[in-house]
Amino acid sequence: MNSETTVDIQPIAPGIFTLPPYDKNPPVLLGGYCQKCDKRYFPRPKYCPGCLGLIEETTVGSTGTIYSYTVIRIKPPLGFPSPYSVVYVDLDESGLRVFCLFDPEAIDQLRIGLEVGLAVKPLGDNGQGEPRLRPYFTPRKLN
Amino acid sequence: MAYASVVGVGMIPFGKHPDRTLVDLGSEAAYMALKDADLNPKNVEIGFFANGFAGRLFGDFTIGQNVFWNVGINSIPVVNVENACTSGSTAFYLAYNAVAAGQVELAFAVGAEKLYVPELGLLNSGQTELDTQLGRVAPASFALRAIRYMEEFDATPEQFAQVSVKNRRHSGLNPLSQFRDPITIEEVLGSPMVVDPLTRLMCCPNADGAAAVVVASPDIAQRQGRAVNIDAAILATGNYENPQDQLRWETDYRACGVAYEKAGIGPEDINMAECHDAFAICEILHYEAMGLCPTGEGARFAAKGETELGGRVPVNTSGGLLSRGHPVGATGLAQIYEIVTQLRHEAGKRQVERAKVGLAHCMGGDKEGDTKSCTVAIFSV
């Protein structure tokens, strides 16, 4: 089931994004959904903060636009490249504004309003030098 | 009449104290506050001790009992408080509540922190939290606000730099502040970039430090010549709704609004404020939340000099976190130290003329694009 490149690399946290392989379905961020409140959350809460009802897993989106961004230029934590970038993205699917990493290779394209899509790759480590899969947004190639 | 008053304050110089322990720093600030209040420590009925990082950095915890016993306080309830950057102001909030509720006549809030240690690294909001694992560090949270602020409100890095320059100028007049040499806009903009668009001189430095505040009932306060009224002391938590507007910060506005309502005054009544200028952009956002200027006008408000000593409403006359440094557990109490010193008209060269009402504002931690805690206290004479 796993592609050979990521077979041994664990995601940074469970239930945050769909796992590889992505040849049929591209990666999507996962969150929580409360049927009673008809509300989606990211990340998935244990109970619905609105009604304490049960939360089911749902997708919250894989594309969106950048609300804001920054580039961290000091010594990075967790084995991230230097510099690395983080963004808030307004997701098309759910309207949620999520905090996430941005493609370190595409920092020169960063601007508010940039249309982005989700990708997943080994990015940084677990604090003990073991690589981890992390989600990040990258400029969308619009056809 | 206020439900409680500040009757004593103490603070040690913020800076590097490599040869002293955290308990030693906290004990000295506590001693100074007790001497300032001219009170017998045996009359203190409850103590709150604030610290953020000793558990992680030194493996020390439950420190308050050590600090209070060093100044002759024992047997009473002692509570150790951690609430990120608002740890000190949260300890004060609890001391205020204990007195205002009529449970005690005399409560003591002490905060201390030692951050000049090699293993510190970048502060975050909790090592295992998802945002931290996705690369969030404390300056990034505010850099994200700064980039959005420049886009929506047509602000410039030069305007952000003016906050750092102003606070450094104030700091030069405060012997307890850490960095006191004046700086220029060019120096601020030319210092190394930390997190776009915030340069090193737009970010608060670390510090070792301690501060302490004694809170007393009206009965005790009226026997004290230099008591300062506490008209409100509130603590708020984020709303964690999504999406979070990073500029019209509901939690910040709400916290300030509740404090004004409790004090029965409005922003126009404030003569001076200390706010959580952990990064230059923070101070600008907090001007707006405190109602000192309209939303979107904070950067221009700073650039016009309205918040300088001699301006309409001086902010961070102590030098702020930007120049004083930010020993997390002590910061909130150091802000109150400054407000009380100003309202007693004991601030020397940095004295705000006609200072009668002052506001202390602090904020701590990140969660869901919001803050974990926000404290606001209003004082008057």
Query: Which residue of B135, B148, B193 is in closest CB contact with A84?
Result: B135
In A, minimum Cα distance to B367 occurs at A99
Mean pLDDT, rounded, for A49-76: 97
Give B225's pLDDT tier (boundaries 50, 70, 90): confident
Question: Which of A72, A102, A133 to probe by mutation at the B interface, max B CB count within 10 Å?
Answer: A72
**Residue B83: per-residue pLDDT:** 97
**Residue B118: per-residue pLDDT:** 77
Q: Give the whole-angstrom CA distance, residue B214 versus residue B106.
A: 7
User: Does any CB of chain A come closer than 8 Å to the CB of residue B122?
Assistant: yes
User: Does any CB of chain A come closer than 8 Å to the CB of residue B24?
Assistant: no
* pLDDT tens for each residue of B228-239: 999 999 999 999
Which residues in chain B have Cβ-Cβ distances shorter than 8 Å to A80? 135
Query: What is the CB neighbour count within 10 angstroms for residue B229?
Result: 20
Percent of chain A with pLDDT strictly greater than 70: 94
User: What is the predicted ipTM?
Assistant: 0.94
Nearest one of B210, B298, B267, B230 to B20, comparing CA atoms: B210
Shortest Cα–Cα distance, A38 to chain B (Å): 14
Mean pLDDT, rounded, for A23-28: 95
| pLDDT above 70 for A97 | yes
Domains plus CATH for chain B? Answer: 4-117+208-229 (3.40.47.10), 134-204+232-380 (3.40.47.10)
User: Does any CB of chain B come closer than 8 Å to the CB of residue A71?
Assistant: yes
Please state the φ and ψ torsions of residue A67, each to the nearest 5 degrees.
-85, -40
In A, minimum Cα distance to B120 occurs at A77
What is the three-state SS of B313-379? CCECCCCHHHHHCCCHHHHHHHHHHHHHHHHCCCCHHHCCCCCCEEEEEEEEEEECCEEEEEEEEEE
Q: Give the whole-angstrom CA distance, residue A44 versus residue A30.
A: 8
Instruction: Provide the whole-model pTM.
Output: 0.96
User: Does any CB of chain A come closer than 8 Å to the CB of residue B238?
Assistant: no
* pLDDT tens for each residue of B361-371: 999 999 999 99
| CB-based contact B134 A95, cutoff 8 Å | no
3-state helix, strand, coil in chain A (%, to 5): 5, 45, 50
| CB-based contact B240 A127, cutoff 8 Å | no
Shortest Cα–Cα distance, A8 to chain B (Å): 19
Question: Which positions of B are catalytic?
Answer: 85
Q: B357-367 and B272-274: which strand pairing?
A: parallel
Indicate the DSSP class of residue A84. E
* pLDDT tens for each residue of B62-89: 999 999 999 999 999 999 999 999 999 9
User: Does any CB of chain B come closer than 8 Å to the CB of residue A68?
Assistant: yes
| CB-based contact B134 A135, cutoff 8 Å | yes
Question: Which of B119, B133, B151, B366 to probe by mutation at the A interface, max A CB count within 10 Å?
Answer: B133
Percent of chain B with pLDDT strictly greater than 90: 95
In B, minimum Cα distance to A126 occurs at B133
| Residue B179 CA: distances (Å) to CA of B14, B158, B186, B205, B322 | 9, 21, 17, 9, 9
Query: What is the CB neighbour count within 10 angstroms for residue B97?
Result: 18
Give B2's pLDDT tier (boundaries 50, 70, 90): confident
Supply the mean pLDDT for chain A: 94
Which residues in chain A have Cβ-Cβ distances shorter than 8 Å to B140? 70, 72, 86
**Residue B377: per-residue pLDDT:** 98
In A, minimum Cα distance to B130 occurs at A13
User: Does any CB of chain A come closer than 8 Å to the CB of residue B59?
Assistant: no
Give A4's pLDDT tier (boundaries 50, 70, 90): very low
| CB-based contact B242 A49, cutoff 8 Å | no
| CB-based contact B192 A73, cutoff 8 Å | yes
Query: Which residue of B127, B136, B145 is in closest CB contact with A86?
Result: B136
- Would you say B20 and B113 are in contact if contact means Cβ atoms under 8 Å apart? no
**Residue B126: per-residue pLDDT:** 79
* pLDDT tens for each residue of B241-296: 999 999 999 999 999 999 999 999 999 999 999 999 999 999 999 999 999 999 99
Cβ neighbors of A14 (< 8 A, separation 6 or more) are none
| CB-based contact A74 B244, cutoff 8 Å | no
The enclosing H or E element of B198 equals strand B198-199
**Residue B127: per-residue pLDDT:** 80
Indicate the DSSP class of residue B192. P
**Residue B308: per-residue pLDDT:** 98
Give A1's pLDDT tier (boundaries 50, 70, 90): very low
Beta bridge partners of A56: A33
| pLDDT above 50 for B109 | yes
* pLDDT tens for each residue of B141-175: 999 999 999 999 999 999 999 999 999 999 999 99
Sign of CA dihedral A102, A106, A112, A118: negative
Supply the mean pLDDT for chain B: 96
**Residue A3: per-residue pLDDT:** 47
**Residue B120: per-residue pLDDT:** 73
